Structure 1
Amino acid sequence: MKKRTIGRLELVDFPQFEIEGVEAKIDTGAYTGAIHCNNIQLVKLADGQASLRVNLLDDAHPNFDGCLMEFTDFSLRTIKSSTGEAQRRYVIRTVIRLFGEDFTTQFSLSDRSDMKYPVLIGRSLLRRGRFLVDVSKRYVGRKKRFAPGSLQS
């Protein structure tokens, strides 16, 4: 299988959530990917099953609609943050679209509002010989549209 070159930043879609064009940082140091969310609520359904309700992204993203997403298939895991601190986070499996291809992978749900990019792609998606990361490149899979007059740094 030929490896695709992926840049340090890519635009990704989440077809199950009808969210497109989200900036994602490629992080070979992280095992599990992460997606920005807030308003995390764990609720008990009438049948006794637990349900996780969250807002994915926030109003800074153009596709944010404020609707709560609900997950009944999730886990709670200890994940080491970029600072080395162990945190308990909810983890979901979902489809991410990259290079026009759909991949099912895991994402931890965390408040990334203090981070520059709302999505982090970790090794669990990158492995299996799929990608070669070229840190000198950005938006290899799909070009980012810049507003007129904006700096393209």
Structure 2
Amino acid sequence: MIVIGRIDKIDLPEFELFDIDAKVDTGAYGSALHCHHVKITERNGKPTLEFMILDPDHPEYEGKVFYTTNFKEKMVKSSNGELENRQSITTEIVIFGKKRRVEFSLTDRSNMRNPILLGRKFLSKKFIVDVQLKNLSYNNKYKES
């Protein structure tokens, strides 16, 4: 297993976003991605999820609208303990130089320090968390072959 700290940086190549801050949270079951303007519309006769990643205050924000027909709706317990209906997508991230698939629930994390949360479902059997450390993947990004 790989040692990961409490915070790291990840890439989201499908969305052309790189070095985005992610909080590693063993207290959260699922992973979450900061989005806004999340809504289900219809395109070409199919239910389509429409969303924007990050927000205008974030340096990597590009104002792009993303669309996918590959999404789920599910109930998620929020950080304040309330159940919320959220949409989720599965996408590829790059961390420690490796591509991995992650399911993210899409939610407004504008009041949080980090736009991405990596939960236990993703971390399990891959990582050991050392809360005294941070940015281990990012610090080793260019050293790996």
TM-score class normalised by the smaller sequence:
over 0.9
What's 2:126 paired with? 130
| Runs of 4+ more than 4 Å apart | none
Q: Say which SS state the counterpart of residue 136 (structure 1) adopts.
A: coil
State how far apart, in whole Å, the 2-side matches of 1:60 and 1:6 are: 27
Whole-Å Cα distance in 2 between the matches of residues 92 and 126 of structure 1? 17
Alpha-carbon separation, structure 2, partners of 1:111 and 1:36: 5
1:104 paired residue among 80, 89, 101? 101
Shift of 1:62: 2.1
Residue equivalent to 1:142: 138
Q: Deviations over 1:30-78 (max 9, x none)?
A: 11100000011211113x2100111001122222110101111001100
Q: Deviation of residue 9 (structure 1)?
A: 0.2
Letter of the aligned partner of 1:9 in structure 2?
I
Where 1:124 maps in the other structure, the secondary structure is helix
- CA deviations 1:119-138 (Å, max 9, x no partner) are 000111111x2110000001
Across the aligned residues of Structure 1 and Structure 2, the Cα RMSD in angstroms comes to 0.9
Cα distance per residue 1:83-109 (max 9 Å; x no partner): 111000001000111111111010000
Q: Within 5 Å, which residues of 2 pair with 1:63-78?
A: 63-78=60-75
Distance in 2 of aligned mates of 1:124 and 1:71 = 23
Q: Which residue does 1:56 correspond to in 2?
A: 53
Instruction: Give distance in 2, aligned partners of 1:139 and 1:12.
Output: 9
Match of 1:147 in 2: none
Q: Distance in 2 between matches of 1:71 and 1:56?
A: 13
Q: Please give the secondary structure, in 1, of the residue aligned with 2:34.
A: strand
Q: Which of 1, 20, 23 is residue 22 of structure 1 equivalent to?
A: 20
Please report the TM-score for the alignment, with normalisation by the length of structure 1: 0.88
Structure 2 segments unaligned to the other structure (5+ residues): 140-145
Q: Which amino acid aligns with 1:116?
A: R
**Which residue number corresponds to residue 11 of structure 2?**
13
The code of the aligned residue for 1:137 comes to L
Structure 1: which 5+ residue stretches go unaligned? 144-153
The count of corresponding residues between Structure 1 and Structure 2 is 139
Q: State the match for 1:39 in structure 2.
A: 37
